[in-house]
Each structure stands twice: as structure tokens, then as C-alpha cells.
Amino acid sequence: MRKIAESTVRRLSLYLRFLEEFEAKGIATVSSGEVARRGGTTSAQVRKDLSLFGSFGKRGMGYSVPELTRAVRDILGLGRPYVVAVVGAGNVGSALARYSGFASRGFHVRWVYDQDPGKVGLSWDGLRVRDVENLESDLADHPPDIVVVATPEGAAQGVADRLVTLGVKAFLNFAPVQLAVPEDVMVKNVNMAIELETLSYALRHR
């Protein structure tokens, strides 16, 4: 399969949101124009994005909502569950570990770690915070599919190194630091400071 731009993947993820809404309302078919309007894009863009992955819908008939929903879920790799570990049980880690939206999309937080003795042992919705010392003993046999790094800046790289050694291939990183990882490991950075500063930049240069 040819290399797909991340912007395309992000749009597909958004289309899936809309398709699930349509499905929940019992709508049987949608046109590319209806998906586009919902997402602030054009019907040509929707058709182009989908055409990268196959042939969907019939000319003039629109797309079958259940079929396209299933196809986009499959394209996005959502046809299977993912085991997620969260490292760092501060405000961000805690919010993420408890966020029900994860599980409903197949991302199951099974592990939460911290190094603070005041947090280790706490139970969040049935999930017990474990000492980060246990990373290796807990995870060596079955490394999680995705690790959310929500540690302070100074701890993030060390944690990532240990998890890479255990075989983790995907990180969602909230620590304000660029993680150095091998080429076959993916890191998605979520940095609130950057999001806020794109807003302050825009307010400054209006």
C-alpha cells in the first residue's frame, strides 16, 4: 500500500465520527457531500480520501452507512482491541486513564504506573496504580500495544527507553519533550503548550 499522509488518516478518523453519528440516527446512506458538510471539507476531498483505500458506494447512490463505517474502522485498524498502559498518574494521566471514550473505541487502559509512593496503590475505577519499578516484570511477556507517556519532562525518555526495550511500538506522548526512539517505533506528541501558542500566535497577529 502506498504511503498515506497523516492528514488523510486524521480526516478518515473524523469521517468515522460522522458515520457513527449517522449510523446511530439510523441513516442508511450518505453522499460524500453530506460527510463533507459535517466535517468542513469538500465532497471531492471525501471521495479522494476514500478512493485511496478501495471502491466504496455506487455512483449516484451514495455510500451505505453501515458498510462504510465498517470499512473505515478497518482501515484505521479498529477491527481489534488495543491494550494501553499509562505511565504517570498526575492530572493528565488520571484524566486519560479514566476517559471512557478510549474503551468504547477499543483502546483498553489495563495498566497505570507512577513512581510516587503517594499514588501507587490508588484505585481508579478499578484500575490500581502500580509502581513504575514493575514495568519490566509486568509487561515483558505481553507488552502493551500503545503506551501513553504522561510523566514529568525529565522522566519521559527513561521510561520510553525501558518500554522500547520491552517491545512497545507506539507512544502517545504528553510530556513536553521530543522522545528519541528507534525508527520502527511511532510517537504521537500531544503538547498543550503548542496548541495554546498557536492560539496566542493567532491572537497576536490578527
- Report in angstroms how near the CB of residue 23 gets to a second copy at its nearest: 15
- Pair type for strands 186-189 and 170-173: parallel
18: nearest Cα among 3, 7, 31: 31
Q: Is 25 one of the binding residues for a second copy (CB under 8 A)?
A: no
Candidate list 22, 63, 102, 113; residue touching a second copy; CB under 8 A = 102
Q: Is 101 one of the binding residues for a second copy (CB under 8 A)?
A: yes
Candidate list 62, 146, 155, 164; residue touching a second copy; CB under 8 A = 146
Q: Is 76 one of the binding residues for a second copy (CB under 8 A)?
A: yes
How many CB atoms sit inside 10 A of residue 134's CB? 12
- Report in angstroms how near the CB of residue 60 gets to a second copy at its nearest: 27
Q: Is 35 one of the binding residues for a second copy (CB under 8 A)?
A: no
3 state SS of 108: strand
Candidate list 63, 114, 145, 159; residue touching a second copy; CB under 8 A = 145
Burial 49-84 (b: 16+ CB within 10 A, else e): bbeeeeebbeeeebbbbeebbebbbebeebeeebbb
Q: Half-sphere exposure of 149 toward its Cβ, with a 13 Å CA cutoff?
A: 31
The span of 60-68, 109-117, 156-164, 192-200 binding a second copy (CB under 8 A) equals: 192-200
Q: Is 75 one of the binding residues for a second copy (CB under 8 A)?
A: yes
Q: Is 142 one of the binding residues for a second copy (CB under 8 A)?
A: no
Cα-based distances in Å from 13 to 44, 74, 114, 139? 17, 11, 31, 29
Q: Is 192 one of the binding residues for a second copy (CB under 8 A)?
A: yes
* Residue matched to cell numbers 502493551: 144
Candidate list 13, 43, 64, 115; residue touching a second copy; CB under 8 A = 13
Residues forming contacts to a second copy in the complex (CB under 8 A) are 1, 4, 6, 9-10, 12-14, 16-17, 38-40, 75-79, 82, 91-92, 94-96, 98-99, 101-102, 105-107, 145-146, 169-170, 172, 176-178, 184, 186, 188, 190-206
